[in-house]
Chains A and B, each alone.
Chain A
């Protein structure tokens, strides 16, 4: 549990340090379970350990790793050093008056949420899982269902502490270019070790949710552009990629806002800030390849669509039901079998609805099947050159790795880029350096800042080598 009141002390107490940090060789992969590589995994127990590991990194460099929820390879470093950041997991302070949390980079959003709720404070940006670290949330500049109202994670960071390439510790605030290069910078500017996050106030840990089922993509776009979307704090849709023709892009749109105490039923009013999100079951690693196939995806999609109410208003739901359904299942990525899967997430700007429709058609007509599809309207982006969200439409689809998927994704890249869109690095695992850079007009600006901060290329990851993000 946290101490209350602001804390400015940044030194690491000796009591939690003894001897050299643990170091072992480990095969690492992302959440998609593809392309594993070997690295020296070092578990730091304080800022000094991080600085030491950076100073002695060697030719293959070093990268920080959080809880491994990125789908591809940003948190692995073949032949080099990987810092196991969840070792730095102190919540230094949560100030109930200012609503600012001062936390180590290895603290997870789940941990922060549990500590903040008793103060009536809410983590401002939550991605689809709470099992991500603060450092990872900043490094990938993650977003959630409330992007259209609150922006991405970096918007809520007021201060961060980072270990630079020379092993020095630097404090960064949003008035510096390096701060914004670090937000969305995939750990390639330095190792984030601590940050202060502005939390939001909430009366409860529940959502008041409205559900709408639409018969096609046009129906969904209509609901998202008729002005109603801005009246909800949180909004996202599941859509069907197995239906074509008149049912193309049929969807279930769920939108809601954090409930006030008045909105809760009497039973929940007694403990409105209760946070009850258990992990119900954990999947063992026994699933064969090919379980997620045309048949199972079709059956799932039909069921998911039909079980949703056509129109429902004011349903009170907890965070698991409304927001992070998959957090109920540990290791759900295992159901894709040993070949793993990839998640394809892109955004196209507002005004590109025709292109968007063509991409959804292309996915629906393809032989590749995706069940967990998300459609969301993004609000305006932020100042970070590599931040993914930008005003427009984002789509996320999951594909098990099968033959021919590579070419199909390359085709999707072309459609996305032609529409002025881009890909999300936290999900990316297979595109080309050119296609990645084409989506980020400020990539060169980011690279110049990064290279100046790390001229010797100390920070490196499999992703940085694959997409030529660094020297």
Chain B
């Protein structure tokens, strides 16, 4: 259960090696260690994540999870709930990809669409069923500001996040009547291994800062948050910039 001061007792991280996801688990664990289920591809990064969280006092379970194997997702979610209620589930997996390759190479484009959209929908449906049954808890979907308005430099990724964002926006409403909160997080540019080597955009942030935004959102049952917070107003303005001007902006 999430207690009176907003501490969960169990977290499922889909994308168990995601930097934002792990930073969020650490942020919660710094107040109160908990049961953590990491769903990810097995490997040294997952082992390292497990060791780090165990050192913080968390009990860690790992489940093999491959976002592209859609028919395994229901089973992955079932296994995560086998050890009891999940208070917070974070949908943190995703691919940034190479935009120039993605819009010219079918295979790469489809891969991005499958992982970022189809797989998040597939896990989302499975999560929704479990959360509905338990009648409480919080699902966090890590979206992106890239989904708010497609940009030439990033539109394939942006289009997948737009789809994911819309799905979880609807899920927020569908699960409300079951006592379940869905939080959509829209980070801007985050310094991480995903963006390694890219030029940071204005208002660039860190996984730790995004994690703080997420923990606050879960504790206060917020449904839509930006990281950093001022990104909300930047994107609100950008959405309304006329195309001839928008395409000239250095973003």
Contact = CB atoms under 8 A, between A and B. Distances in A.
Contact of B4 (A25, A72, A78): A72
B134 A430 contact: no
Interface in B130-147: 133-136
B1 A36 contact: no
A34 B4 contact: yes
Contacts of A59: 133
B114 interface: no
A340 interface: yes
Nearest to B2: A35
**Chain A CB within 10 A, most for which of B2, B5, B6, B220:** B5
Interface in A22-73: 25, 27, 32, 34-39, 59-60, 72-73
A430 B135 contact: no
A465 B10 CA distance: 12
Contacts of A340: 4
Q: Is the interface of B mostly helix, strand, loop or mixed?
A: loop
A429 B134 contact: no
B134 A78 contact: yes
Given A79-B133, A406-B31, A25 B177 contact: yes
A119 interface: no
A401 B220 CA distance: 11
Contact of B6 (A78, A406, A407, A410): A406
A405 interface: yes
Contacts, number: 76
Nearest to B84: A465
A429 B135 CA distance: 18
A79 B31 contact: no
Given A72-B4, A78-B179, A466-B3, A339 B134 contact: no
Interface string B31-43: 1100000000000
A342 B4 contact: yes
Nearest to B179: A38
A79 B5 contact: no
A407 B3 contact: no
Given A25-B177, A78-B179, A432-B32, A466 B1 contact: yes
A164 to B, nearest CB: 24
Given A72-B4, A73-B1, A407 B31 contact: yes
Contacts of A462: 1, 136
A429 B3 contact: yes
A80 interface: yes
Contacts of B4: 32, 34-35, 72-73, 340, 342, 401, 429-430
B133 A430 contact: no
A80 B3 contact: no
A409 interface: yes
Interface in A428-471: 429-430, 432, 462-463, 465-466
Nearest to A29: B4
Contacts of A32: 4
B3 A38 contact: no
B103 interface: no
A37 B179 contact: yes
Contact of B5 (A27, A37, A38, A342): A342
B9 interface: yes
B220 to A, nearest CB: 7
Nearest to A409: B5
A38 B135 CA distance: 6
B2 to A, nearest CB: 6
Contacts of B1: 35, 37, 73, 78, 462-463, 465-466
B7 interface: yes
A376 to B, nearest CB: 23
5 contacts: A38-B179, A60-B135, A342-B4, A430-B5, A466-B9
Q: Which 3 A-B pairs have the closest CB atoms?
A: A79-B135, A38-B179, A429-B4
Given A72-B3, A79-B133, A429-B5, 4 more contacts: A34-B4, A72-B4, A73-B4, A430-B3
